[in-house]
Amino acid sequence: MRPFLMIKTLCNVKVTCFTVFTISIISMRSNRFPSNPDQPVQWRVLLDLWPYLLEFKGRVIGALLFLVAAKLATIGMPFILKHIVDGLNAEDPTAGLWIAPVFLIVAYGVLRLSTVLFGEIRDLLFGRVTERAMRRVGLKVFKHLHALDLDFHLNRQTGGLSRDIERGTNGIGFLMRFMVFNIVPTLFEILAVATVLFFQYGIGFSVIILVSVFVYATYSMKATDWRTKFVREMNTADSTTSSRAIDSLLNYETVKYFNNEAFEADRYDVDLAKWEQARRRNRLSLFALNGGQAFIIAASMTSMMLLAASYVQAGTMTIGDFVLINAITMQIFMPLNFLGFVYREIRGSLANIENMFSLLKRKPKIVDKPGAAPLTVEMGKITFNNVNFHYNEQRQILNNVSFEVAAGNKVAIVGASGSGKSTIVKLLFRFYDTVSGQILIDGQNIQDVTQLSLRKAIAMVPQDTVLFNDSILENVRYGRPEASDDEVREAIKLAHLGDFIEQLPDNWDTEVGERGLKLSGGEKQRVAIARTILKRPPILLFDEATSSLDSHSEKAILDAFNEIAHGHTSIVIAHRLSTIVDSDLILVMHKGHLVEQGNHAQLIEKGGAYFDLWQAQQKESE
């Protein structure tokens, strides 16, 4: 009876291993954050990913060969185990007869080791394919997002967008690893085992295997479709929560200004409550799915073991055959159980990848015309001819605006808020296209030249300067990334940042914080001015560039402006009229109309809208 006890112990160990494996998979499934599955399954995504697989053909072929080798080793182990058991269970074993079982045990160990090693080599070979695909797609999406128009970025939610990109990129890795190396090999193994069982043990075992697989797959798909809405609700709540948190943290100063920490926390908690409820629903639906799958697997294995036990009692099967049936059934259901998890995740990954690829399919509204030539700036003359523009048809922003900025002149644009001043700058940068009319630079329509060359010819000092979370030196260098340290320091000196930087503990290498939060408004503005000085393009734009400066700094910056603007065409959007009295031309905007133009003396003498603005500001100063 000792050999039989050994067999019983061996079977118990196998069952225990299978139980531990099943529990770990269920735990992993319940802890893993599900992707966002959508209806229908986006199988066409595989065509979009195919080119990335072809980049490493040799690695893919090698990985597939090791995959086949691993599966053959896996299928061979139960048959070797059968012969080991039959040899050990012989009625009159002799010393000579133990040689074969020992050899088979060694072979069994070699096959088990080979299964693991072949799988590791397979993953090692294919890992680079997956990582390179994630890198290529991630870079492509990043570039495409920068190519999209300003309108898209004004309406996007940064937190939700970043989460979509993260899920899509991770989905590529999951899809390429598990679909190629789990679903197809598992189906192959099921068919191979069912065929072997049919020819060696009869149709009963094959029918149980095939029916179990069919019922399991059908239940998994139906249950997955049912719980899709719960997963979608959870992912929507997660994206909303993430967007809320990021939006609040990006506006940290505004929250502090209005003492709205509690208000922000309450709003965030409302989103978290929705997320908690969605997670609970998802967890309950996952319990139903896992429970049904576990029942199907338990019923199938019980049926297989009962049938095998009846054959052993009838004398038509040996103990080794019983162990083989037990082992091969567990080998089938172990990947089959994992297949349910993989199917659900692949379904979600396909949807997440599709969401990311939908960003790539989104066409920017502002594109270069076919064959667009680079802009050639010789003089820097700017002309607006009957320009009309609106963001939506219900509200006209610019109405038949026409003016001319002579080469090398300084032109100021003034007017009340909402009069269209900043829109003129956005149109000149071609963040938007005019509804009608033309914008010319040295006689070239900006819609006929490349956007890259257009924006290379213009430098901008915005009213609200946003800096990168880097050093002051690198933030200034951003104006011309290839500039040397000496050139950057010279630009900093001209922007009157030198004295301020010398007071900092790390001087040029001082980190400015996210969005430049460690610097004051005036300091950030001077960094932006230094960027513009470093770029030194033929056309300069200043959008209320001195609005955050004190009177002393303002005068110093204006002197620097006059110095760097000499010989350059410059447009200044100004609120304080005292800063633009030396302009060659002043344009007065009112509700989208250009109502006056001329120099300071001419407009004062005229006694119109500009005169009224001047008088009002003089009274405020007094």
Q: What pLDDT band is residue 259 in, cutting at 50, 70 and 90? A: confident
User: Best-predicted range by mean pLDDT among 171-175, 338-342, 466-470?
Assistant: 466-470
- The three-point CA angle 580-585-587 to 5° equals 85
Highest mean pLDDT among 59-68, 190-199, 596-605: 596-605
Percent of the chain with pLDDT over 70: 81
The highest-confidence range among 138-152, 357-371, 406-420, by mean pLDDT, is 406-420
3-state secondary structure of 278: helix
pTM of the model: 0.60
pLDDT value of position 43: 64
Q: 612 or 547: whose pLDDT is higher?
A: 612
For 76-129, what is each residue's pLDDT tens digit?
778 787 777 777 766 545 444 455 677 778 888 888 888 888 878 877 877 777
Over residues 434-440, the mean pLDDT reads 92
Distance, in Å, from the CA atom of 64 to the CA atom of 68, rounded to the nearest integer, reads: 6
Q: pLDDT digit string (tens) for 550-599?
A: 666 666 667 667 766 777 888 888 877 888 888 889 999 988 899 999 99
pLDDT at 176: 73
Please give the average per-residue pLDDT across 240-247, as a whole number.
86
pLDDT band at 2, cuts 50/70/90?
Answer: very low
Higher pLDDT, 186 or 242: 242
pLDDT (0 to 100) of residue 595: 92
Among 35-49, 249-263, 318-332, 500-514, the least confident range: 35-49
The pLDDT of residue 568 is 81
Q: Among the listed ranges 9-13, 176-180, 439-443, which one has the minimum average pLDDT value?
A: 9-13
Q: Identify the DSSP state of 43.
A: T
Alpha-carbon gap, residue 407 to 425, rounded angstroms: 17
DSSP 122: H
Tokens of 536: 């030194």
User: Of the spans 175-189, 355-369, 592-606, which averages the highest pLDDT?
Assistant: 592-606
In terms of pLDDT, which residue wins out, 138 or 306? 306
pLDDT the model gives residue 21 = 34
CB 133 within 8 A of CB 53: yes
Strands 585-590 and 410-415: parallel
Q: Cis peptide leading into 505, omega within 30 of 0?
A: no
Mean pLDDT for 235-250 is: 85
- Dihedral, CA atoms, 244, 246, 248, 249, nearest 10 degrees? 160
Per-residue model confidence (pLDDT) at position 382 = 92
- Evaluate whether 371-457+540-622 and 464-536 have a shared fold: yes
- Checking if the pLDDT of 161 tops 60, the result is yes
pLDDT at 10 over 70: no
Please, which pLDDT band fits residue 24 given cuts at 50, 70 and 90?
very low
Token code pair at residue 110: 């070699």
Of residues 78, 74, 38, the one with CA closest to residue 185 = 74
Contacts of 88 (CB under 8 A, 6+ apart): 3, 6, 7, 101
Which tens digits make up the pLDDT trace of 497-527? 777 777 777 777 777 776 666 777 677 777 8
What is the Cα–Cα distance from 80 to 292, expressed in whole angstroms?
Answer: 33
Note the pLDDT of residue 144.
78
Angle 352-357-360 (CA atoms, 0-180°, nearest 5)?
150
Q: How many CB atoms lie within 10 A of CB 106?
A: 11
- Residue entry with tokens 């599966």: 71
CA-angle at 271, arms to 268 and 277, nearest 5°: 140
Whole-angstrom distance, CA of residue 64 vs CA of residue 119? 10
- Residue 369 structure tokens: 């015309």
Residues paired with 176 in a beta bridge: none
Mapped onto helix, strand or coil, the DSSP state of residue 390 is: strand
Residue 305 CB neighbour total at 10 angstroms: 15
Instruction: Report the candidate in 232, 236, 239 with the shortest Cα–Cα distance to residue 163.
Output: 239
Tokens of 355: 């969401």
Angstrom distances, CA of residue 254 to CA of 248, 251, 263, 544, 563: 9, 5, 12, 21, 36
d(CA 494, CA 613): 32
Residue pair 569/588 in contact (Cβ under 8 Å)? The answer is: no
- Report yes or no: 391 and 422 within 8 Å, Cβ to Cβ: no
Report which secondary-structure segment, H or E, holds 31.
helix 2-31
Residue 99: per-residue pLDDT: 57
Quick one: which of 12, 11, 14, 25 has its CA closest to 294?
Answer: 25
> Residue ranges of the alpha helices (H) in 481-549?
485-494, 498-502, 521-535
Q: Which fold has domain 2-361?
A: ABC transporter transmembrane region fold (1.20.1560)
Residue 295, both tokens: 């029942």
d(CA 505, CA 157): 36
- DSSP β-bridge partners for residue 261: none
Return the CATH class of domain 464-536.
Answer: alpha beta
Average pLDDT, integer, range 310-323: 85
> Is pLDDT above 50 for 165?
yes
Q: How far apart, in whole angstroms, are the C-alpha atoms of residue 402 and residue 388?
A: 10
Q: What is the mean pLDDT of the chain?
A: 78
> Cα(369)–Cα(130) distance, rounded to whole angstroms?
36
Mean pLDDT within 206-223? 86
Taking residue 529's Cβ as centre, other Cβ atoms within 10 Å add up to: 29
Tokens of 395: 């509200």
Return d(Cα 412, Cα 604) in angstroms, integer. 15
Superfamily the domain 371-457+540-622 falls into: P-loop containing nucleotide triphosphate hydrolases (3.40.50.300)
pLDDT cut 90: percent of the chain above it: 8
CA distance 197 to 185: 18
Task: Give the integer Cα–Cα distance in Å for 371 and 377.
Answer: 18
Better-predicted residue by pLDDT, 46 or 6: 46
Place of tokens 């940042």: 497
Average pLDDT over residues 59-70: 79
Task: Write down the domain spans for the chain.
Answer: 2-361, 371-457+540-622, 464-536
Residue 148 backbone phi and psi in degrees, to 5: -70, 160
Least confident of 202-206, 244-248, 462-466, 571-575: 462-466
Tokens 């009340």 map to which residue? 416
Under 8 Å between Cβ of 527 and 465: yes
Residue range 596-618: average pLDDT?
Answer: 88
Question: Cα(593)–Cα(399) distance, rounded to whole angstroms?
Answer: 5
Sign, CA torsion 128/131/134/138: negative
Instruction: For the chain, state the CA radius of gyration.
Output: 36
314, 304, 336: which is closest to 25 by C-alpha? 336
Least confident interval from 212-216, 366-370, 461-465, 547-551: 547-551
Report the C-alpha gap between 446 and 434 in whole angstroms: 10
| pLDDT at residue number 35 | 42
